[in-house]
Structure 1
Amino acid sequence: MSDGRPVLVLTNPYDVTADGVLRLLADRRVPVVRLDPGTDLHAGASLTATYRTGGQRGTLRTASRELDLTRVRSVWVRRPSPYEGPPDQDDQNRRFAAEQSFWGAGGILASLPGAHYVNHPWNNRAAEFKPAQLSTARRCGFLLPDTVITDDPNEAREFATFPHGGVVYKPLWNTPYRVDDQPHSVWVREVHGAEITDAVSVCPHMFQAKVDKAFDVRVTAAGDRLFGVRIDSPDLDWRYRQSLMTCTPIEVPEPVARAVAAYLAEMRLIYSAFDFAVTTSDDWYFLECNPNGQWAWQPAETTAAIAHAIADQLEKGPDT
């Protein structure tokens, strides 16, 4: 039975993945408040925080309720809209309002006393940097493909001509990109030294030794529970044509599980999605870790188990 303290879910109104977890919380009689701060705070909702030597108070008001922020048991930072400012303002005022909202409202919602965050937004952001992921993964005991991140074309060409058995290029961030005014995704792809031009000097690029993989694996971590899925795809980057991939549950080897636990502890994460390339000799190479990765595309039994694990985290609240 719920103790009455609510769970605050920060996500956009079109996030159907969150809906399954919210239904589980409703079945458990856990009260939930759903908020998309980037848009709702310009559409009738309001947020107030007061700080004094003797304590801290906060109130979220919406059209239907008033929430005492000091009573929030857990915060699920799922997929909130970006802070873009009210649409009825000119560009300068909109930018000003957006930044004030990010640092003000975002700061309030990231500083709720005693709340259990899945994940804390600042930890999410810190864990999204690819160099930090690779550095942490190495310390935690994962196998890593040889990797170079550089804006020096000569360094890049030298790395690409080294006998790795192939080299791939990966963007360091999923930046929106357009070609002929159409959205365009930058996929992981194999490159050769002759293709690398001086344009590399414009910004850092990430090149990585190509793993001679038998298949890919996605490991979703929620607390101390791990859910592994084997991904068989004809493409180097399985995201490219997901309609052609097949997914089947797979056990996570104990050494990998220990490294995952160490990684989560160092990055201060409760939830994360790890991607691995697995060789024919069953070596699991760490590729990346998305601290807020999607999971509802996996097999139904895996998706249901992840939803329950996330609901468990939100229901339990902070460790005492």
Structure 2
Amino acid sequence: MAAAGPPVLVVTRLDDATADEVIGELNRRRVPVVRLDPGDFPTAVTVAATLDGTGVAGTLTTETRAVDLDSVRSVYWRRPTPYGADLAMSEQTSRWAVEEARHGLGGVLAALPGAHYLNHPWRNRDAEYKPAQLATAARCGLAVPPTLITNDPGQARAFVTTHRPVLYKPLRETEYADADGRSLTVWLDDVTPAQIDDRVSHTAHLFQQRVSKTADIRLTVVGDRLFAVRIDGSPGVDWRRHYDRLTYAPIDVPPGIAKGVRDYLNAFGLIFGAFDFGLDPDGEWHWYECNPNGQWAWFPEHITSPITAALADELQYGGNA
């Protein structure tokens, strides 16, 4: 029985299989959980926060739960939906209401007294910028492939010519849909000098030398615990397009990589990070990126179980696991 005590606040959308795994583990431990999607505000979420000389207090209420703001032990910040507004509002008023919600409710959720954040939303935001990721990884001693970020077609063409083979990578996984509302994904892909044209000038683009790799590696870090998985079987440069062909095997993390990723997380103030590496024929790990809110629940159960337990430990014991 035991457990109970202060609740864990899980901030995410309804369809989040990764959060479901962690919530299930917390439920098995009888740790109280309150699930909240800020995108449900204000129709299904009510906040009443008081701020004075004693700090932050008040209540947060969803359709099924209520929580005292000063009693939250931990916050698991996953993937909430965007803030919304009443459809009857004008476009300008709607934008205003969304920003008020973001800075009001969002500000309260980011300032819960004594709560252990995994990760704090502002730390997630800071760590999402690819240029900052690349610079920090290099500073932490991780091997970063030559990379160019530009809107200059001439510079892009010269880089691709000099460093071929070169990949194009999106700078952010921004939600994108076609005219019928179907979600689209911009994949990593090879690019040639002939493909570079004036459209590059319309926005920033990221080009990176392609690593001559024998496998991919996903390294999930939770606090002091590291979970590295070798990914084999991808016939293309972006293994996310070929889940049905992939095989997974847990592997050890070289000491230099372990130190580098811990230094990286400390630099951004993160507890959790999902790192992607390419493994070359000489066994060297080449750093690609770190998603401060990356997925891991698609792995087989023998891989996900330890990660689930590590996350639940962080949330249950507030970083003192």
- Using structure 1 for the length normalisation, give the TM-score: 0.94
Instruction: For 1:26-41, list aligned pairs within 5 A.
Output: 26-41=27-42
Q: Aligned partners of 1:156 and 1:17: how far apart in 2?
A: 37
Q: Aligned partners of 1:187 and 1:26: how far apart in 2?
A: 36
Q: Check if 1:169 corresponds to 2:164.
A: no
**1:222 maps to amino acid:** V
- The aligned counterpart of 2:306 is 305
- The aligned counterpart of 2:197 is 197
Q: Aligned partners of 1:183 and 1:56: how far apart in 2?
A: 39
Structure 1 residue ranges without an equivalent (≥5): none
**2:28 maps to amino acid:** D
Q: Is the 8 A contact 1:115 1:318 kept in 2?
A: no
Q: Aligned partners of 2:260 and 2:76: how far apart in 1?
A: 24
Question: CA 1:103–1:174 in 2, change beyond 3 Å: closer, same or farther?
Answer: same
Cα drift, residue 18 of structure 1: 1.6
Q: Check if 1:66 corresponds to 2:69.
A: no
**1:246 maps to amino acid:** T
Instruction: For 1:57-96, list aligned pairs within 5 A.
Output: 57-96=57-96
Q: Is the 8 A contact 2:3 2:30 kept in 1?
A: yes
User: Greater shift after overlay, 292-301 or 26-35?
Assistant: 26-35
Cα drift, residue 209 of structure 1: 0.7
Cα drift, residue 90 of structure 1: 4.3
**1:314 maps to amino acid:** L
Question: CA 1:179–1:12 in 2, change beyond 3 Å: closer, same or farther?
Answer: closer
Q: Is the 8 A contact 1:273 1:289 kept in 2?
A: yes
Cα drift, residue 41 of structure 1: 3.3
Instruction: For 1:1-320, list aligned pairs within 5 A.
Output: 1-2=2-3, 4-43=5-44, 45-162=45-162, 164-178=163-177, 181=180, 183-232=183-232, 233-317=234-318
SS of residue in 1 equivalent to 2:67: strand
**1:75 maps to amino acid:** V
Count of aligned pairs: 318
Aligned-pair identity (%): 50
Question: CA 1:248–1:88 in 2, change beyond 3 Å: closer, same or farther?
Answer: farther
Q: Is the 8 A contact 1:229 1:298 kept in 2?
A: no
Alpha carbon RMSD of aligned pairs, Å? 1.8
Q: Aligned partners of 2:83 and 2:64: how far apart in 1?
A: 22
Question: CA 1:95–1:216 in 2, change beyond 3 Å: closer, same or farther?
Answer: same
Question: CA 1:199–1:63 in 2, change beyond 3 Å: closer, same or farther?
Answer: closer
Q: Aligned partners of 2:192 and 2:65: how far apart in 1?
A: 58
User: Greater shift after overlay, 194-203 or 102-111?
Assistant: 194-203
**2:312 maps to amino acid:** A
**2:151 maps to amino acid:** D
Structure 2 residue ranges without an equivalent (≥5): none
